[in-house]
Amino acid sequence: MSSSATPGPADRRHRTTPDPLTMTPAEKLIAEWEARHDVAARGSRATPGALQHYLAESRSRERCEEAARGRRGDRH
């Protein structure tokens, strides 16, 4: 007699396997933090152009998030 907790061969055929190349947003943030930490630990300094690009991108992302939050609040 088989237990209902044990998946049978029919159950295995219908299961989809997750794509190993996709990352969740949390995993992306962790990877970014680890990369920045590694660079800082090596003592490398960013070039002024790279730093300016990073800051501009961060500000742009923050503005987009603020705008999205504002739009959601207007609907209520």
Listed by start position, the domains of the chain span 46-76
> Pick the residue with more confidence: 36 or 10?
36
Is the predicted pLDDT of residue 2 greater than 60, yes or no?
Answer: no
Contact yes or no for 34/26 (Cβ under 8 A):
no
Task: Give per-residue burial for 46-76: e unless 16+ CB within 10 Å, then b.
Answer: eeeeeeeeeeeeeeeeeeeeeeeeeeeeeee
% pLDDT > 70, the chain: 72
